[in-house]
Amino acid sequence: MRLIFLGPPGAGKGTQAKLLTERYGIPQLSTGDMLRAAVAQATEVGKRAKAVMDAGQLVSDEIVNEIVSDRIDAQDCAKGFILDGYPRTVPQAIALDRMLDSKGLKLDAVVELKVDEAALVRRMENRVAETVAAGGTVRSDDNPEAFKRRLTEYREKTAPLSEHYAQTGQLKTVDGMADVEAVTAEIDKILA
């Protein structure tokens, strides 16, 4: 099973990915984790990424695509994977399609968790309150203004992926406002 989750920050992508990785024994591939691992392992592409990051620049799509390609080749991805935080743009999605095609693979589904943005802000505020009540540390980006900036960035950069994957016939939408179990049940129907 090869899957991408789409949806704005706070939509529940991480929660659903975790449930699926446990159920199907496939890894969740986070772009950030893959990048850090490539740098730590000092792979060829990791060294290039480190040089770019050390210069204070953003890692190019070319480098990110290569890191994703290398990770997909790993043995633990043989049964599938869930991509988290990739692709973020239509050019990355096109590169992913080509990459998978060159490996004789294809995506099984692109699942978009549809949510109400005002409700997402309330969700984030509740998460902060629960974290504080439990004595935990609140994420620096879990404040209303930072969260709204993340939503704006999502709308501008990542939301066009929905249209791209709708045009390819791969996009499946799920009501992300439902409770966790109901969302999981809808995703299970898509994957059946």
3-state secondary structure of 36: helix
pLDDT tens-place values along the chain, 192 residues long: 999 999 888 888 989 999 999 999 999 998 888 888 999 999 999 999 999 888 888 888 999 999 999 999 999 999 999 998 899 889 999 999 999 999 999 999 999 999 998 888 887 888 888 989 999 888 776 777 888 888 888 888 888 999 999 999 999 999 999 999 999 999 999 998
CATH number reported for the structural domain that contains residue 43 in this entry: 3.40.50.300
CA gyration radius, the chain? 17
Which residue numbers are catalytic?
A: 13, 88, 127, 139, 150
Total domain count, the chain: 1
Looking at residue 151, what is its pLDDT? 87
Would you say residue 108 lies in a domain?
A: yes
The answer to the question of whether 43 is labelled as a binding residue is: no
The answer to the question of whether 59 is labelled as a binding residue is: yes
Q: Which helix (H) or strand (E) holds 39?
A: helix 31-40
Distance CA 111, CA 175 (A): 10
**Angle formed at CA 159 by CA 155 and CA 164, multiple of 5 degrees:** 155
Q: Which two tokens stand for residue 6?
A: 């789409």
Would you say residue 99 lies in a domain?
A: yes
Looking at residue 141, what is its pLDDT? 67
Looking at residue 158, what is its pLDDT? 81
Would you say residue 30 lies in a domain?
A: yes
Would you say residue 126 lies in a domain?
A: no
Would you say residue 107 lies in a domain?
A: yes
The answer to the question of whether 87 is labelled as a binding residue is: yes
Would you say residue 148 lies in a domain?
A: no
Distance CA 22, CA 85 (A): 19
Would you say residue 75 lies in a domain?
A: yes
Would you say residue 78 lies in a domain?
A: yes
Full domain range(s) for residue 65: 2-115+160-191
Looking at residue 72, what is its pLDDT? 96
The answer to the question of whether 131 is labelled as a binding residue is: no
Looking at residue 88, what is its pLDDT? 87
